[in-house]
Amino acid sequence: MLRLQKLTKTYKTGDQALKAIDLAVPKGQVLALIGPSGAGKSTMIRCINRLVEPTSGGVLLEDVDLTNLGSGALRKARREMGMIFQEYALVERLTVMENVLSGRLGYVGFWRSFLRRYPQSDVDEAFRLLDRVGLLHMADKRADELSGGQRQRVGICRALIQNPKLLLVDEPTASLDPKTSRQIMRLITELCQERGLAAIINIHDVALAQMFVPRVVGLRFGEIVYDGLPTGLTPEKLTEIYGEEDWEATIEKVDEDEDVEAAE
Amino acid sequence: MPVIERDDAQIWRRRTMGQSLVRWFGWLLGVAVFVYCWQLISQSTTWFFVWDAPRIANDIWTRATPPKWDYITQLGRPIWDTLNIATLGTIIALCLAVPVAFLAARNTTPSALFIRPIALLVIVSTRSINSLIWALLLIAIIGPGVFAGVIAIAIRSIGFCAKLLYEAIEEIDHTQVEAITATGASRWQIMAYGIVPQILPAFAGISVFRWDINIRESTVLGLVGAGGIGLQLSASLNVLAWPQVSLILIVILVAVMISEWVSAKVRGAII
Amino acid sequence: MSYRELDDMLGKGWRKPAFVKNPLLRWALFLGFFAYLIAAFMTIDVDWGRVYEGLDRGWAFVLAFTSPDFISRWSDILSGLLESIVMTVTASVVGILISIPIGLGAARNIAPLPIYMICRGIVAISRALQEIIVAILLVAIFGFGPLAGFLTLSFATIGFLSKLLAEDIEAMDKVQAEAIKASGARWPQWINYGVQPQIMPRLVGLSIYRIDINFRESAILGLVGAGGIGATLNTAFDRYEYDTAAAILILIIGIVMALEYLSGIIRARVQ
């Protein structure tokens, strides 16, 4: 469904963040993107919906190349891709409900959105999504009154109300505690399953990635150095991605966790 | 932090010889400039009047007290005009300052090469000229009256408000804007959802702050004929009606204090 | 409202919660403001015929900016500008020197209560009185000329700088000051080592900012006879010599811009 063809990004400073990335994501597949800081994970996600303009190469969403769309067509394409951010990126001074409804901005006209008169179907969908993530009673609270985990749930609702085909998830758990991180990861993967969504989850916590996703892509210096099952991530592979470190502990922990998950 | 060695003893000094010399020279130059300036002032001062000042001050004080309290009945309309000059001037200024601020902020300007310098020029030129001068100019153009006062206050406030506002716009959290962009929102929707909510508190604070200043400024605009209570002040001064002057000054003081109190309250409620 | 079930809420409309919760109060505020605006507009007597006539003159003034006349009144402009600068320099120096002790006295954490009250009183009076009103009074007392302007600006500087300085001292880091006190320093030593280093950068920044303001204010003091470029400007407007007026305004804007640029550099270096 999504294909990246020789996607390259060179910043003005001359840093090559992405070096001719080729990647295909079939419909409904959730994949985790791992790699050290500065490997180009964030850049790659942002190149897909062109928050960052790629230097060359193609991004094909259902055989439409996004890289040479005009601004109107790009907005239509962006509606198909929901994005979830590291620091939640909610508009803090708006209410939870407004934040969720802002996911519909690509569908409604300016005055409708300005006067907050969304179609009833959108409002109903927003209520349903908030109920699904357990925040219905918070609908009229201001976003900056929420805790980190709650904010990320609102962020998820905002991405899902776009009715996307693909989720772009940028470090969803980076600012959350371990327990909330797992809850959020579980929620994202569950929702993807319910709705048959594909997702690219950019994550730095290898153990968490292994726990929840069926496919892991490792990025190092803007190149894909691993693409396969989470169980294939041996210490040698991790060393190749991240550099020298004692990886045994990480992997053992994962196995343990999986047992716990299974027991639940 | 130099250490001088002399007679086998180390003497610590805060600055080297050269540094202290430069500093002393700088101070000397400063003092010389000050003395020169003072002499210029002194030359154009009639010192006889200055030595006579205590007597004159005393004289004015005895004439000005007690204030002519019943004159206040004639001050109702001027006070109302003063309030209007400040309020309407602030509202007009805000309407104009918002687009200027968006054009001047680095992250929202449509063209950093052409439009931003123009917007910055508007800000600097309206800001550096006092509202009294603007009033003087407008009276020469559209004649004396409240209207000239409103426009003068409005022009003077554009630069002030736009400067503070564009600094607020430049400080917004960019990821929130990014998130709204990612939903496929149009340019105006990004503005309404991503940027405006973030600068709204700053905007409200600036408005009230400037309104407070404008109340002060509009009390004296009448001195040049631009309406408000200053007209009465200048008329009373011209006929040396000191009891009226003292009453007007008291009224102005009270008005300034009230406006300061109101603006502090409103700012407290917003933030 | 907090625990309504999903089924209740589906199909119901959604409204953004209003900023003012009570609908009655909300409408009252809205209508009151609207009524005020209408009343204010009604009471401004605008002589539209006069305004229309003035448009030509306004346009002439705008055009004058493209061909400002520096030459025909150059000696007047020069002496006025020089007087403004002289007043700015002397008033800033004297004002800053006086405002330092008053600022120390107006800081509650280093001054005893009686001194605190006196200094705060001085600050309050200085801030409440408009520069131009002070200038009028001082001109009446000391006679025309730059001395009155110098005194006005010094007085205004004291109110501005002392207040900000005092606030800064009150917000300073207590531990550093305590450490100096603990070393057995006398009061002046304590101020010199414990307080001064902390507030010095701010003091320099604020002083330069105030010099900037003093220059702008000095441009209007001439309107009431207190010296400076204002008198020349006023004459130019009276004679409808827009090209000369434009030249003066351009000079003022230029000097203010230069001062702002300079203060930006100095502040960046001090901090």
pLDDT single digits (tens) A27-78: 889 999 988 888 888 889 999 988 888 888 889 888 888 888 888 889 888 9
* Burial environment of residue A241 by CB neighbours within 10 A (0 to 12, 13 to 18, 19 or more): buried
Six token digits for residue A93: 């001074």
Torsion of CA A261, A153, A196, A257, to 10 degrees: -10
Q: How far is C31 from chain A (nearest CA, A)?
A: 20
Q: Which of A88-102, A248-262, B22-36, C240-254 has the lowest mean pLDDT?
A: A248-262
The whole-chain average pLDDT of chain A stands at 85
Taking an 8 Å cut-off on Cβ atoms, the answer to whether B189 and A94 are in contact is no
Residue of C nearest to B215 (CA): C130
* Predicted local confidence at residue A251, as pLDDT: 60
**pLDDT grade for A100, boundaries at 50, 70 and 90:** very high
Please tell me whether the overall predicted TM-score, pTM, comes out greater than 0.90 for this model: no
Query: Cα(first)–Cα(last) distance of chain B, in Å?
Result: 47
Q: Which residues contact C12 (CB under 8 A, 6 or more apart)?
A: A123
Q: How far apart are CA A103 and CA A142, in angstroms?
A: 17
CA distance A97 to chain B (A): 13
Tokens in use for B120?
Answer: 């910055």
Contact between chains at B181 and A91 (C-beta distance less than 8 A): no
Q: What is the 3-state secondary structure (H, E, C) of chain C?
A: CCCCCHHHHCCCCCCCCCCCCCHHHHHHHHHHHHHHHHHHHHHCCCCHHHHHHHHHHHHHHHHHCCCCCCCCCHHHHHHHHHHHHHHHHHHHHHHHHHHHHHHHHCCCCCCCHHHHHHHHHHHHHHHHCCHHHHHHHHHHHHCCCHHHHHHHHHHHHHHHHHHHHHHHHHCCCHHHHHHHHHCCCCHHHHHHHHHHHHHHHHHHHHHHHHHHHHHHHHHHHHHHCCCCHHHHHHHHHHCCCHHHHHHHHHHHHHHHHHHHHHHHHHHHHHC
pLDDT digits (tens, 9 = 90+) for C134-170: 898 888 888 888 888 999 999 999 989 998 888 888 8
- pLDDT per residue rounded down to tens, chain B (271 residues): 566 666 666 777 777 777 888 889 988 998 998 998 888 888 877 777 778 888 888 888 888 888 888 888 888 888 999 999 999 999 999 999 999 999 999 888 888 888 999 999 899 888 888 888 888 888 888 888 888 999 999 999 999 999 999 999 998 988 899 999 999 888 889 999 999 999 988 898 899 989 988 998 898 888 888 888 888 888 888 888 888 888 998 888 888 888 888 888 887 777 6
* Phi and psi angles of residue A105, each rounded to the nearest 5 degrees, phi first: -55, -35
What pLDDT score does A16 carry?
83
Compute the nearest-CA separation of C118 from chain A (Å).
43
CB C9 to CB A97 under 8 A? no
Least confident of A116-120, A152-156, B10-14, B201-205: B10-14
> Which residues in chain A have their CB less than 8 angstroms from residue C11's CB?
120, 124
Question: How open is the CA angle A50-A53-A54, to the nearest 5 degrees?
Answer: 105
Set of chain A residues whose Cβ sits within 8 Å of the Cβ of B194: 91
Report helix, strand or coil for A243: coil
A101 band by pLDDT with thresholds 50, 70 and 90: very high
C120-131, pLDDT tens digit by residue? 888 888 888 888
Q: Is C18 on the interface with A (CB under 8 A)?
A: no
* Angstroms from B115 CA to nearest CA on chain A: 22
pLDDT of residue C10: 77
CA nearest neighbour of B242 among B27, B61, B54: B61
pLDDT for A260 equals 43
Q: Residue C54 is nearest to which of B142, B219, B249, comparing CB atoms? A: B142
* pLDDT at residue A258 greater than cutoff 60: no
pLDDT for the residue A257: 47
The answer, for A91 touching chain B at a CB cutoff of 8 Å, is yes
The answer to whether the CB atoms of B186 and A76 lie below 8 A apart is no
What pLDDT, on a 0 to 100 scale, did the predictor assign at position B57?
A: 86
Instruction: Please give the DSSP secondary-structure letter assigned to residue A70.
Output: -
Q: Is C185 left (phi over 0), alpha (psi -120 to 50) or beta?
A: beta
The answer, yes or no, to whether residue C271 has pLDDT greater than 90, is: no
What share of chain B in percent tops pLDDT 90? Answer: 27
Answer yes or no: do C13 and A123 touch at CB < 8 A: yes
Residues pairing with A56 in the sheet: A8
Closest approach of A249 to chain B, Cα-based (Å): 35
Domain coordinates of chain C in residue numbers? 19-64, 75-270
- Exposure string of B98-133, with b = 16+ CB inside 10 Å and e = fewer, is bebbbbbbeebbeeeeeebeebbebbbbbbbbbbbb
| A89/B193 CB distance under 8 A | no
Q: Tens digit of pLDDT for each residue in A159-186?
A: 999 999 999 999 888 888 888 899 999 9
Q: How far is A140 from chain C (nearest CA, A)?
A: 7
How far is C-alpha C71 from the chain's CA centre?
Answer: 32
A75, A80, A105, A156: which to substitute to probe chain B, counting the most B Cβ within 10 Å? Answer: A105
Question: CATH top-level class for C75-270?
Answer: mainly alpha
Contact call for C2 and A137, based on CB within 8 A: yes
Instruction: Give B60-73 pLDDT, tens digit per residue.
Output: 888 888 888 888 88
Residue A201 — pLDDT band, cuts 50, 70, 90? very high
For A:179-238, CB contacts with B below 8 A are none
Cβ–Cβ gap B40/C132 under 8 Å:
no
If one counts every other C-beta atom within 10 angstroms of the C-beta of residue B39, the result is 10
One-letter amino acid of C84: S
Contact across the interface for B252 and C130, Cβ inside 8 Å: yes
What is the set of domains in chain A, with CATH numbers? 1-72+193-264 (3.40.50.300)
- Residue A8 distance to chain B (closest CA, Å): 20
Q: Does A127 touch chain C (CB under 8 A)?
A: yes
Residue C99, judged by CB atoms within 10 A of its CB (0-12, 13-18, 19+), counts as buried
Answer whether residue C31 shows pLDDT above 90: yes
Nearest-angstrom CA–CA distance, B35 and C23:
65
> Is the CB of C4 less than 8 angstroms away from the CB of A127?
no
Q: Which residues of B touch A89 (CB under 8 A)?
A: 175-176, 178-179
Residues listed for chain C:
271
Asked if the bond preceding C197 is cis, omega within 30° of 0, the reply is: no
Token look-up 């040479």 returns A68
For residue A249, what pLDDT is reported?
Answer: 63
Flag if A136 and C11 touch (Cβ within 8 Å): no
Question: What share of chain C in percent tops pLDDT 70?
Answer: 98
Dist CA C11 CA B180 (whole Å):
26
Q: Does A97 contact C14 at a Cβ distance shorter than 8 Å?
A: yes
Burial class of residue B222, CB neighbours in 10 A (0-12, 13-18, 19+): buried
What is the predicted ipTM?
A: 0.84
Q: Neighbouring chains of C at 3+ CB pairs within 8 Å?
A: A, B
DSSP chain B: --EEEETTEEEE-SS-HHHHHHHHHHHHHHHHHHHHHHHHHHHTS-HHHHHHHHHHHHHHHHHH-S--GGGGGGGHHHHHHHHHHHHHHHHHHHHHHHHHHHHHSTTT-S-TTTHHHHHHHHHHHHHHS-HHHHHHHHHHHH-SSHHHHHHHHHHHHHHHHHHHHHHHHHTS-HHHHHHHHHTT--HHHHIIIIIHHHHHHHHHHHHHHHHHHHHHHHHHGGGGTSSSHHHHHHHHHHTT-HHHHHHHHHHHHHHHHHHHHHHHHHHHHH-
CB C65 within 8 A of CB C237: no
Q: Within an 8 Å CB–CB cutoff, is residue C15 touching chain A?
A: yes
Q: Using a CB-CB distance cutoff of 8 angstroms, which residues of chain B are in contact with residue C252?
A: 128-129
Contact B179 A79 (CB under 8 A): no
SS3 A205: coil
pLDDT value of position B87:
93
Quick one: tokens of A50? 């062109």
List the one residue out of C17, C180, B107, B136 whose CA is nearest residue A94: C17
C269 touching A (Cβ < 8 Å): no
DSSP string, A123-183: HHHHHHHHHHTT-GGGTTSBGGGS-HHHHHHHHHHHHHTT--SEEEEE-TTTTS-HHHHHH
**Contact check, Cβ <8 Å, C11/A120:** yes
Contact C237 B137 (CB under 8 A): yes
Q: Do B44 and C145 touch (CB under 8 A)?
A: yes
Contact assessment for residue A214 and residue A230, using Cβ atoms and an 8 Å cutoff: yes
Please tell me the least confidently modeled range out of A112-116, A246-250, C257-261: A246-250
State how far residue B132 is from chain C, nearest Cα, in angstroms: 7
Chain C touched by B96 (CB under 8 Å):
no
Cβ of C13 under 8 Å from any chain A Cβ?
yes
Measured between CA atoms, the residue of chain B closest to residue A114 is B192
Residue A136 in contact with partner chain C when CB distance is under 8 A: yes
pLDDT in tens, C174-201: 787 778 878 877 888 888 887 888 888 8
Smallest CA–CA distance, residue C175 to chain B, in Å, is 24
Q: Do A110 and B198 touch (CB under 8 A)?
A: no
Q: Which chains touch A (3 or more CB pairs under 8 A)?
A: B, C
Of the ranges A229-233, C214-218, C237-241, the best mean pLDDT one: C214-218
Is some CB atom of chain A closer than 8 A to the CB atom of B188? yes
Q: Which residue has the tokens 């309107």?
A: C223
Q: Are A94 and B193 a contacting pair at CB < 8 A?
A: yes
Whole-angstrom distance, CA of residue A227 vs CA of residue A218: 6
Residue C2, pLDDT > 50, answer no
Strands A30-34 and A198-202: parallel
Q: Which residues contact B228 (CB under 8 A, 6 or more apart)?
A: B78, B81, B82, B85, B146, B149, B218, B219, B221, B222
